[in-house]
Amino acid sequence: MRITSWNVNGLRSIIKGKYDSWLYESEYDVICLQEVKMQEDLLTSSMFHSKSAYWNSAIKSGYSGVTTIVNPSLVPISISKGIGDSKLDNEGRVLTTEFKSFILVNVYAPHSHRKLLRLEEKEIFIRKFVFFISNLRKFNKPIIIVGDLNVAHQEIDVFHFKSNEKNAGFLPQERQWMTNLLSMGFVDAFRFLYPEKKEYSWWGLMHDLRERNIGWRIDYILVDNILKDKIKDCFYSKEQFGSDHCPVSIDIDI
């Protein structure tokens, strides 16, 4: 199975910019999108042809939102939105899809903001998300978490790590959240396979940062420890343009 995740930073802009051919490739069994900035409507119901699309859109138009696109060969058992916090859930940040053999959690975590104006919201999300994942364990199924977590976990995940130690996305409490998630029985699939490899998934839009590969790795696939030996590959598609993020994908026997 191949699962992929991409923060598209506006799905309409991806389509209008003709960067959307990637979305229709049959080699992906599940595609998780973040920051779609769209509401579910008649247009979206036919957007992905034969594939089924499940949405958790933000109440606010043109903001946030996540979508999980599933090939016809996979039939979800259940779909659930949010993590149980009414304010954050209105922002359309988490969509959970239960399949026969695993549970997939599509996440777009809040950004703490350049001036840390949303640090409180991020910290609330951090606590609630950990509790949410703990509750998912009652289903006794392996869990895979994918998406834009808006945090670089280790120094290797930020090009300029020393100058970003007090900045949003690399704060101690944000990095500790990642450590806590992994301690709940997950592996960072890419880092599990490539412990010393420097890859990034987000680049600022100014100063040719993407071309110079000066970026952050903030998009992840976290795999239940039970499944870690079934991971065949995990990779970032830097050649896929259309967003300030690039997709991250996993090949896994499940």
- Model confidence over 117-129: pLDDT tens digits? 999 999 999 999 9
Average pLDDT score over residue span 41-51: 75
Q: What is the mean pLDDT of the chain?
A: 94
**Residue 108 falls in the annotated catalytic set:** yes
Candidate list 29, 85, 148, 157, residue with the active-site label: 148
Q: Is 204 left (phi over 0), alpha (psi -120 to 50) or beta?
A: beta
Percent of the chain having pLDDT more than 90? 85
- What confidence score (pLDDT) does residue 89 get? 96
CA distance 65 to 59: 9
CATH assignment at residue 139? 3.60.10.10
Average pLDDT score over residue span 12-37: 90
Q: Which of 16-25, 60-69, 99-108 has the lowest mean pLDDT?
A: 16-25
- What confidence score (pLDDT) does residue 7 get? 98
At 235, the pLDDT band (50, 70, 90 cuts) reads very high
**pLDDT at 209 exceeding the cut of 80:** yes
At 47, the pLDDT band (50, 70, 90 cuts) reads confident
At 206, the pLDDT band (50, 70, 90 cuts) reads confident
CA distance 213 to 20: 23
Largest CA distance in the chain: 47
Average pLDDT score over residue span 46-60: 89
Average pLDDT score over residue span 188-204: 97
- What confidence score (pLDDT) does residue 42 get? 57
Candidate list 28, 54, 85, 108, residue with the active-site label: 108
Counted domains in the chain: 1
Contact 93, 87 (CB under 8 A): no
Comparing 92 with 16, which gets the higher pLDDT? 92
- What confidence score (pLDDT) does residue 43 get? 62
8-state DSSP, 184: T
Total residue count of the chain as it appears in this document = 254
Residues of the domain holding 30: 2-252
Alpha helices per DSSP H over the chain = 11-16, 42-45, 86-89, 119-136, 172-183, 189-193
pLDDT tens per residue, range 59-92: 999 999 999 999 999 999 999 999 999 889 999 9
**Residue 148 falls in the annotated catalytic set:** yes
Q: Residue 177: helix, strand or coil by DSSP? A: helix
pLDDT tens per residue, range 126-146: 999 999 999 999 999 999 999
At 157, the pLDDT band (50, 70, 90 cuts) reads very high
Provide the whole-model pTM.
0.96
